[in-house]
Amino acid sequence: MAFTELSAAEKRRYERHIILPEFGEAGQLKLKNGSVLIVGTGGLGSPLALYLAAAGVGRIGLVDFDIVDESNLQRQIIHFTSDIGRTKLESAKRKILEINPSAIVETYETALRAENALDILRNYDVIVDGTDNFPTRYLVADACTILGKPNVYGSIFRFEGQVTVFNYQDGPSYRCLYPEPPPPGLVPSCAEGGVLGVLPGVVGVLQATEAIKILTGVGTPLKGRLLLYNALDLTFRTVKVRRNPKWAVGAEHPDVKGLVDYEQFCGLKRHGAVADEISVQELKSWQDQGRSFTLVDVREPHEYDHVNLGGKLIPLNTVLARQSEIPREGVVVVQCKVGGRSRQAIESLKAAGYNNLLNLAGGIVAWQKEIDTTLPRP
């Protein structure tokens, strides 16, 4: 049931909005009746949730399954030092209600998957994508396209950010801009590549602005334009994003008919057994049987120090230089965080003549999830 007026307390709280002629009480009422789903409460999700709560968005949904970790605090400003070890949802919900006790906060402590995405997304007016990996981005994007929901997109890498609004009115969708994902390993994640802590602040606040514009109808949303922000050079540029009739909402012959397996779509797993892959379960049984093998961890030292499986640390960019430390006989299992970098390492080493390498499917993340949940999350 929609609210038809603001209370006296709300008129006081939102006075600075209400006196904006473009906004007025009508705009504030639209926020109160509006709902936003924030997928991910990390770097982008933090400023998003804080500002949307402060602005008076009536209902805020949060999707996350992560725990607050010390290394998050450099940028995920909704989480405090005292929250380390708490779930991100619990931490974020507490802050949102502290800022705005009348906000309705709905939490989904789960990974967004093809099986649950449509049911979660359909209850919201606007979806904001604050995730950190390609499979989930394609999942959010396709689910929004199927449901016809606006998708406020932001992504970050090192010192650069991208922002746009997909699926708004007749605008393009994510796939119109990025028809296919990069092969695994080619684009490093923030965990490998690093990210300037304030960068998700800038990008998340731009996303929050767009979400508010869509809910209230004030201004012109960033539809059909991709904003490129570079913090190092301090440049903002926009380029055009065109609608491709194959992929946009309402396409006559849509390519996106339903949700798929996005891990597979992004090349993170393949059909059937792959000759040079080993699952975490197999590796565990090898350990239990006392089979002899060498484990090589190709992540970065800081990741290794946080949690490791006792492998030999040889970061990806040093594997060729340090070949002498990798045996050419016996079995060598190569492992990284989720399996992308180790795949790259294996390809380089194969080119250098190795034929005794196995990739640990799913990496240490799969090990922590499926074999040893007592380990810290990688």
Partner 1 sequence: MATVLVPTALRKLTSNLAEVEVPGSTVGEVLRNLAAAHPAVGQQVFENGKIRGFVNVFVGDEDIRFLEGEATPVKEDEEITLIPAIAGGF
Q: Using CB under 8 A, which of 36, 50, 63, 156 touches partner 1?
A: 156
Q: Using CB under 8 A, which of 96, 141, 241, 349 touches partner 1?
A: 241
Q: Nearest distance from residue 79's CB to partner 1, in Å? A: 11
Q: Nearest distance from residue 217's CB to partner 1, in Å? A: 26
The torsion of the CA quartet 94, 98, 102, 106, rounded to 10 degrees, works out to -20
Is residue 52 close enough to count as binding partner 1 by CB under 8 A? no
H helix runs in the chain, sequence order: 8-13, 15-18, 24-32, 45-55, 88-99, 117-121, 134-147, 174-177, 190-193, 199-216, 262-265, 280-289, 301-306, 340-351, 363-370
Bridge partners of 230, per DSSP, are: 160, 235
Is residue 125 close enough to count as binding partner 1 by CB under 8 A? no
Number of residues binding to partner 1, judged by CB under 8 A:
47
Q: Using CB under 8 A, which of 182, 245, 250, 258 touches partner 1?
A: 182
Between 154 and 311, CB nearer to partner 1: 154
Is residue 274 close enough to count as binding partner 1 by CB under 8 A? no
336 is catalytic: yes
- Please compute, for residue 222, the number of CA atoms within 13 A of its CA located in the half-sphere on the CB side: 23
Q: Which of 144, 176, 190, 266 is catalytic?
A: 190
CA distance 264 to 270: 6
Bridge partners of 294, per DSSP, are: 332
The torsion of the CA quartet 122, 126, 130, 134, rounded to 10 degrees, works out to 60
Contacts of 260 (CB under 8 A, 6+ apart): 114, 142
Q: Using CB under 8 A, which of 33, 133, 294, 348 touches partner 1?
A: 133
Q: Using CB under 8 A, which of 11, 12, 242, 302 touches partner 1?
A: 242
Q: Nearest distance from residue 6's CB to partner 1, in Å? A: 33
Q: Using CB under 8 A, which of 116, 162, 279, 294 touches partner 1?
A: 162
Helix, strand or coil for residue 71? helix
CA distance 249 to 370: 38
Q: Which of 144, 176, 266, 336 is catalytic?
A: 336
Is residue 173 close enough to count as binding partner 1 by CB under 8 A? no
Contacts of 172 (CB under 8 A, 6+ apart): 166, 223, 224, 241, 242, 243, 244, 247, 248
Interacting positions 12-31 with partner 1 (CB under 8 A): none
Q: Active-site residues: which are they?
A: 190, 336
Binding site for partner 1 (CB under 8 A): 40, 42-45, 72, 76, 129-134, 137, 154-160, 162, 177-182, 186-190, 193, 195, 200, 226, 228, 230, 232-233, 237-242
